[in-house]
Structure 1
Amino acid sequence: MTVLEELDRIKDRQKDVSRDARVAIRSLEDVFASASPEQIVNGVELKNDADNQVSGKLSIFADHTLEKNQQNFTADEPDNRIINAAIYLQDKHAPRQVVLVTKDINMRLKAKGAGLERVEDYRTDQLIDDIRLLAKGFTELEGSFWGRVKDCESSSEGRDTHHVIDAEILGPCYVNQYIIDDTESFAARVVKKDEQNVELLDLGYERLMAKHAWGVHPKNIYQGMAFDALLDPNVDLVILTGPAGCGKTLLAMAAALEMVVEKGIYDKIIVTRNTPEIAESIGFLPGTEEEKMAPWLAAITDTLEVLHKHDESMSGSMNYIMEKANIQFKSVNFMRGRSIQNAFVFLDECQNLTASQLKTIITRCGEGTKLVCCGNLAQIDSNYLSAVTSGLTYIVERFKDFDGSANVYLNGVVRSRLASFAEEKL
């Protein structure tokens, strides 16, 4: 009962959590719609729509009816009432397991301290337990790569050279993962893999460092790998992660302008990002959607200024390029229901998005569209997300074996020595 009261309390908030609460309430209504009060107390069967099998029962426990001698905590707080109910059910139904599931860390600590044996987090939104385990998109090998390889089958196709090597040399890897060594002589990308062999596309360390777009050259090998993914039209999704000042936005915008204006591969650039909670309706600022989004997309306009700072008239160049490249600023909230064709879509600051919000955006992308997602998992502003539950973490893990996506962690801060010191010491 306390859980239902909590859902009722938060369903009218002007936040994502209110929508989730209403979804939960409607789901409960679907389960209990035709059940009698006796059935609700005893438990209504939960059936799987796919195979009509019963996976368990759902019931409502009237925790308000617990007497004071059955309570471990005072019943003033909702969390306390839920913990009291869980401990009461644990004692009543022993030796059966009673599990309290909550994302509230403090509630988990209180429940364990009160003697509840099984307390768990809700884990289906977590693909990894520790952010340090998140795939970086590349493997750095110690020593020389060719010093490890005893048997290799190489073939050339046009300007591309492929190597087939034993899978044990690299260990666990996935498609479109980059391979470099610390001798700064070898760089490749995984093209195919099976249990015995891995096929690599030889990119060449020097050639990666020589890649460039819109006058921007890589400052380190990580930016070289990012450029390789960004400038490859066969890679539909590029995910760039890394600390503040590592060049995510600059590389993405330079690649976007190169592929739209110079090469004509895409028709337009759509820049979007999640607006803060206070601006979810973005109605309080005057102007068009683009003008309303301008304060939150200042990072993009700053980047355009950097790319054209040596022009005779920087403002004139920017206005010309924004018109020539058909750059559109859009809010994530207005992306639902759209179908985007032949566009370069740049999603900035997506560490603050949930997996469902990112799914909404990714499924908007139609034929001939490239999506670039950038984010820094150390700068999450949402109260409801952590580094392991962020939608950015979710898509990195979900898409890492998809041959149409690439992920690169941009190691090293190149913005300034001040930014580098702050990232390291603060």
Structure 2
Amino acid sequence: MPKEKAVSSKIYVLDTNILLHEPLAFLSFKENDVVVPMTVLEELDYIKDSKKDVARDARVSIRAMEDLLHDATPEELMQGVSMLGKGAGESAPTGSLSIFVDHGMPESQQVFTSNENDNRIINSALYLQKSLQSKQVVLVTKDINMRLKAKGAGLAHVEDYRTDQLITDIKYLSKGYHQFSGNFWDEVKSVDSRTEGRDTIHSIERKVLPEAYVNEFLLDDSQSFAGLVETVTADHLEVLDLGYERLMGRRAWGITPKNIGQAMGLHALLDPHIDLVILTGPAGSGKTLLALAAALEMVVERNMYDKIIVTRSTPEIAESIGFLPGTEEEKMAPWLAAITDSLEVLHKNDENVKGSMSYIMEKANIQFKSVNFMRGRSIQNAIVILDESQNLTASQLKTIITRCGEGTKLICSGNLAQIDSNYLSAVTSGLTYIVEKFKNFSGSATINLDGVVRSRLAEFAEEQL
């Protein structure tokens, strides 16, 4: 049992899903003590050898804890081993990490007598709460039902893991654009405009939009102005005048935008200075179609890149890809049907649709890859389309982003309302994380496509169901 300290720190009891969501989460509690029940170690041990997509995260967490605890005696392990020196900056941990043996607890100390793992972890937290009455014991879990059970069993403090959450509600997520009510120029008191080649750049006061960030689009309700924030200083914003009609007139691989959201997305996708484009929005808003059309335009028509790599991750891939026949690309085909569907749409008016698709896939060197096999690669001079990225954690997305070498453009698309992972929600998804983390990076742009253009049926379903 962890030693009781005189200082007013807390004791955090971690559930397994916290360490699967962020393997080094036990280092994120600053001056507070962390307790990992033996049941959690058993669950990690089972998961690390499984074919689940979180097996690697389990192994990383186990290795990190072993690195910290390998010199500790059994007594020190139960009392708590200091985590001092295991982190950097203000958030570096100064508390201790201990292992709580929850197997030998007498039944009189157990609220739940059934041997389910969740119940044993809750019993551990309740036992610590009763034994260390002067300390605040907090159970941290991403399992909503487990939080309800713990509260109902008498645990005073139960929390979700929020250390990696940059926003508290998905409605606060950056959309990539700001819409002014009325006319944009009514908001501007002073402006200094200049011409650079064909471009007109306006320098306006920062107070017009204090929260502006680089590559944020500016629109107004009168549809008379469309601009892009190019530079942000302490007092001024440099805004590139795009022109509403010119923006709507963008074209890629034979398609034109159906709404202003798609127009902004297409502009960002075709901009060679932007290395990361993040497209969010509901099903049917055109994320995959726009990404593919822009990729084909830049690879085939403009020869700006050498190839297109299409990848995605779903919880089933790690377990199910093996039994499918054929090469890796053939195995991936069922999960990447969205891409082939979009290719059919782009070439539906051709005389021989299948022939056109085969020709373009060879001409653009389109490759289908599983995200599980992206680790360790260095991708040069390519366009990488990462589809369904809402199902990835921040650490998984970091693995993919860091694969991108010189001259590579990454397009991440996803719908935060369609998360399949058991360990993620809209606010903890890696997609949400990178939207907020990269919004001030001059080499990235985020666009939220909020209009469903697939069909009136899809639009009605998105609004009403």
Q: SS of 1:47's equivalent?
A: coil
State the AA in 2 paired with 1:204.
Answer: G
Q: SS of 1:261's equivalent?
A: helix
**Aligned counterparts of 1:275 and 1:30: Cα–Cα separation in 2:** 31
Q: How does 1:184-333 map to 2 (within 5 A)?
A: 184-277=223-316, 280=319, 282-333=321-372
Contact 1:275-1:331 within 8 A present in 2 as well: no
Identity among equivalent positions (%) equals 70
The structure 2 residue matched to 1:127, chosen from 137, 151, 166, is 166
**Aligned counterparts of 1:114 and 1:285: Cα–Cα separation in 2:** 46
State the AA in 2 paired with 1:8.
Answer: D
Cα separation, partners in 2 of 1:276 and 1:88, compared to 1, 3 Å: closer
The structure 1 residue matched to 2:393, chosen from 354, 369, 386, is 354
Deviates more, 1:55-64 or 1:206-215: 55-64
User: What are the ranges of 5 or more consecutive residues in structure 1 without an aligned counterpart?
Assistant: none
Q: SS of 2:296's equivalent?
A: helix
Alignment match, 1:62 = 101
Contact 1:236-1:371 within 8 A present in 2 as well: yes
1:373 corresponds to 2:412: yes
Residue 278 of structure 1: CA displacement? 5.1
Alignment match, 2:28 = none
Alignment match, 2:40 = 3
1:416 corresponds to 2:464: no
**Aligned counterparts of 2:283 and 2:104: Cα–Cα separation in 1:** 53
Using the size of structure 2 for normalisation, the TM-score is 0.87
**Aligned counterparts of 1:264 and 1:23: Cα–Cα separation in 2:** 41
Alignment match, 2:84 = 47
**Aligned counterparts of 1:98 and 1:62: Cα–Cα separation in 2:** 16
Q: Deviations over 1:278-308 (max 9, x none)?
A: 5546221222222222212221111111111
Residue 3 of structure 1: CA displacement? 2.5
Residue 258 of structure 1: CA displacement? 0.9
**Aligned counterparts of 1:4 and 1:256: Cα–Cα separation in 2:** 45
Q: SS of 2:405's equivalent?
A: coil
Q: Deviations over 1:134-179 (max 9, x none)?
A: 1111111111000111111111111111112122212312111111
State the AA in 1 paired with 2:65.
Answer: L
Cα separation, partners in 2 of 1:318 and 1:81, compared to 1, 3 Å: closer
**Aligned counterparts of 1:382 and 1:50: Cα–Cα separation in 2:** 29
Q: SS of 2:267's equivalent?
A: helix
The structure 1 residue matched to 2:131, chosen from 79, 89, 92, is 92
Q: How does 1:135-174 map to 2 (within 5 A)?
A: 135-174=174-213
Using the size of structure 1 for normalisation, the TM-score is 0.95
Alignment match, 2:20 = none
**Aligned counterparts of 1:425 and 1:220: Cα–Cα separation in 2:** 21
User: What are the ranges of 5 or more consecutive residues in structure 2 without an aligned counterpart?
Assistant: 1-37
Q: SS of 1:10's equivalent?
A: helix
Q: SS of 2:136's equivalent?
A: coil
State the AA in 1 paired with 2:197.
Answer: G
Q: Deviations over 1:84-117 (max 9, x none)?
A: 3323322332322222211221222222233322
Residue 54 of structure 1: CA displacement? 6.6
**CA RMSD after TM alignment:** 1.9
Deviates more, 1:214-223 or 1:65-74: 65-74
**Aligned counterparts of 2:362 and 2:329: Cα–Cα separation in 1:** 13
Contact 1:349-1:376 within 8 A present in 2 as well: yes
Q: SS of 2:463's equivalent?
A: helix
Q: Deviations over 1:195-234 (max 9, x none)?
A: 3222211111011001111110111111110111001000
Cα separation, partners in 2 of 1:316 and 1:77, compared to 1, 3 Å: closer
The structure 2 residue matched to 1:397, chosen from 422, 430, 436, is 436
Contact 2:52-2:318 within 8 A present in 1 as well: no
Q: SS of 2:54's equivalent?
A: helix
Q: SS of 1:388's equivalent?
A: coil
Q: SS of 2:229's equivalent?
A: strand
Contact 1:275-1:332 within 8 A present in 2 as well: no
Alignment match, 2:11 = none
Q: SS of 1:98's equivalent?
A: strand
Contact 1:272-1:347 within 8 A present in 2 as well: yes
Q: SS of 2:230's equivalent?
A: strand
Residue 358 of structure 1: CA displacement? 1.4
**Aligned counterparts of 2:83 and 2:449: Cα–Cα separation in 1:** 46
**Aligned counterparts of 2:460 and 2:231: Cα–Cα separation in 1:** 39
